Chains A and B, each alone.
Chain A
């Protein structure tokens, strides 16, 4: 490569890397004193364990708060000790006595004895069985969300506490609904006729197979309800005159509305795609899971109320993200020390390659919706970083070995690369295949690890086999002492 071409390429490459580093890593307050320029890394979604989903939403001192939300589902007739004590505070003595007689303490909770039978400090067997079914139901529902870090626990013996990552609170209320699934059809919910009932003589499964969520090509989220032949016929019959007088189909779980569909033409199909235009992925998924579990899941007679919604800070500790950045800093420094000591100025070729790899990864984690910065994805990135470093070091060593035999630098690089090209290619392809195919099957934490491992392995392969060689070529054009530039030495022979 000529010196002019090399100078142009080097300048462009330097500007590109500087620009990428600027947008990816630098955050600062703007001169107006009120606004902040946030880097891509700051705006990248963070795992609930590390920080808020959007790093820009840190507190006044700039720390990531992170975490997620919890809510507690109390069965109807059960209240927390806090609610019991708060209620007592505003009562007269007479009201207090009546209230105290009405409620009995069971563990850390208070039970309304008008609604739930309590014997010897414990609820009756029916309540216990109903609660066990409800726990099974809620666990299955939250698991079906396939969200990282979701957690369901039995709280104070007879309440259910759920945890979801930040900003996914849309699931709390719909997933608390219990009862039979019914479909009503009419002009309003109160007067609508039940067209798919839950009777003793027939099950709702005679009408509905289940429900699931789908996202259209335009990004619209749908709840898809699959009907049986009987269900399809029931809906077709009810909506026969919809073209003349519009009505609404009410999909209910217990007394609560799971979905509503405005109908202005006859519906006669096996699967109904329903979107209200405001569905987020989580809200659509929650509605689908609610309907599906009401049809096919565990049954409970208990109704639940959602209270005590709290937001939690980073679960792994408030500075966990900061320490991960420090760990990366140590890794980066160690990498530079090795490359600069062993390969002198040739280390700049690796540095440029690595910075492109780093910025590319940050941009992908930011731009790809299902990726977030987490311990798993950070580990995938670190493993791929090692692969890139080893790959670059292998190419340098191959060229060093060729140079030692007396070849010119250009010939050494060419021969060195040709000797290890297919080996490095195979390693990268195999690992990328393993990562991507694991991603296709796996669920949350493992899938994001696998996908990022596959993606960064591809970046590593491109970096080692293409970009690093290009960087090497443009950097070497200037130096007359190419061996010293790379810290490569000729083999000493006895003749010399």
Chain B
């Protein structure tokens, strides 16, 4: 057992426990976007940062990927943590304003303004879908490609993967794009959001920018038109 202290509360947990698990055990809320039970921790969204260490050595670490150490003192909501979280949410909001998950989080943390140039991206590259595909669906159909600005998720060379079983797990876990492809049966939709896209998914001829990996789409059964000359 390892003794730690979270926000002033002493706690003894098993070795190998992550800081996130320990904090959640005590009921301290830590927001996450790229964490999901059953998937390996990845540390992409940085929302779950907590402050550890003292004085000049104090620093922020992602609680999902850091493990407990003997005598560690953790602060889950210090001013430094909150400042960072708010900025991260502002950045997320600027890039992906249509995601309900992000909107909710922003509202919860009282992020009331967004000072960056507005973008409308479909993906925050949290990697949940990649891990879902690999670790739960044992498919490894999709993965990360490129780096920096050009990083994206997809199949190698954009060729439909033979490993993909169209399970839809990737969409199920996506915090940014779960609105996709439920148009034909809005009542069964996770959020029904895709009906709000204009033009709606079904009327759109080019699906390339819709970021749907499945072909045909599981939900709406529309077959992507492949232009053959």
A and B associate in one complex: no
Residues on A lying within 8 angstroms of B by beta carbon are: none
Residues on B lying within 8 angstroms of A by beta carbon are: none
